[in-house]
Amino acid sequence: MKNITIADVAKHASVSKSTVSQYLNKRYDYMGEKTKERIRESIEELGYQPNIIARSLKQKSTSTIGVIVANILHAFSTQVIRTIEDICHQEDFHLIVCNADNDPEKEKKYIEMLRAKQVDGLIIFPTGGNVDLYQKMVVSKFPLVFVDRIVNEVSVPSIMLDNEMAMKLATDYLVDIGYERIAFITNSIHRNITPRIERVNSFQKALVARNITVNQSYIKTSELENVQSVLEEMLSQQNPPNAMIAGNDLTLIEVLKYAKERQLNIPDDLAVIGIDDVSFASFYTPELTTISQPTSEMGRKAALLLLEKIKNEQSVCDEIFRFEPTLNIRNSC
């Protein structure tokens, strides 16, 4: 079968090749509606498919960005990606999403693969394990934005929750309704994962501000597969916590599993607050009190920052953008 070319479309629509080119690039300023309709019909009848590779070489752009997520299982990640995709769609950019599984080696392979595919920029939820590679992209002025993580050695704009405010909201609410034996648990802080470290430190700061003694046996970080045993150890103490803040959605799920298996009543036996407003929070029994992140705003900012960097090579913004959390009061505490 003969490959249909732009010349074939032009001949079929009785217009010049440059007019077809303008149509394909959505430059309609001086193009009549009848001309556009003839070109559209010709493209459809002939089955013409633009040569994306040739166009990208000519324009020096693939109109594609890559998103590499540290762990796509987090509700936060998928919600942010959803908004990034919306913004890119509006700007006629394509999206390639990769999941690094918190593995620096896998992240490295994805960065190299996406750059080989000549994506115009990257949004990364960084594992933190590829500092040299991040730095090389910065030095080469490759458009790059981080989400949910800060890599201190690398000057890259980063989209972050105000984690100190999040922990203050959760802690103050529990204290205000009468709890003092408050625990905090989150995933491992191995590789200095920014939000986890900030939340641990901010939790302790929030306790001190309310004149509550910091009990280190109530503060735990663990690999996800070990959370159940960590909870067992924490809640088997002679004077166990009676309220718990889960540092993210996956940790919250582990806390709820533990409570169900041990037949703990929430909130009578254990009050619970989760960071991240999980999809089932409002219809779980009891409904779950959560701290939500403004994921739409964060995704929008990440996308717009990257697109600005792609369009303006002189853009050197390396600011950290903090977004305010919201306390959603329900029935789990």
In a shared domain, residues 20 and 89: no
* Whether the Cβ atoms of residue 56 and residue 46 lie closer than 8 Å to each other: no
Q: Which CA distances in Å does 198 have to 71, 149, 206, 299?
A: 19, 10, 12, 21
Q: Cα torsion for 195, 237, 284, 251, to the nearest 10°?
A: 30
Which amino acid makes up residue 189? I
Would you say residue 260 lies in a domain?
yes
13: CATH? 1.10.260.40
In a shared domain, residues 19 and 31: yes
The count of domains in the chain is 3
Identify the segments of the chain with pLDDT beneath 70.
1-2, 51-60, 313-316
- DSSP label at 246? E
Distance between CA atoms of 259 and 42, rounded to whole angstroms? 63
In a shared domain, residues 174 and 265: yes
For position 189, what pLDDT does the model report? Answer: 85
For position 47, what pLDDT does the model report? Answer: 86
In a shared domain, residues 37 and 122: no
In a shared domain, residues 188 and 273: yes
Distance between CA atoms of 308 and 151, rounded to whole angstroms? 21
Distance between CA atoms of 273 and 243, rounded to whole angstroms? 8
135: CATH? 3.40.50.2300
Distance between CA atoms of 208 and 201, rounded to whole angstroms? 11
Would you say residue 168 lies in a domain?
yes
* Whether the Cβ atoms of residue 226 and residue 167 lie closer than 8 Å to each other: no
Distance between CA atoms of 187 and 289, rounded to whole angstroms? 20
The pTM for the full model equals 0.84
For position 190, what pLDDT does the model report? Answer: 78
For position 26, what pLDDT does the model report? Answer: 80
Distance between CA atoms of 307 and 305, rounded to whole angstroms? 6
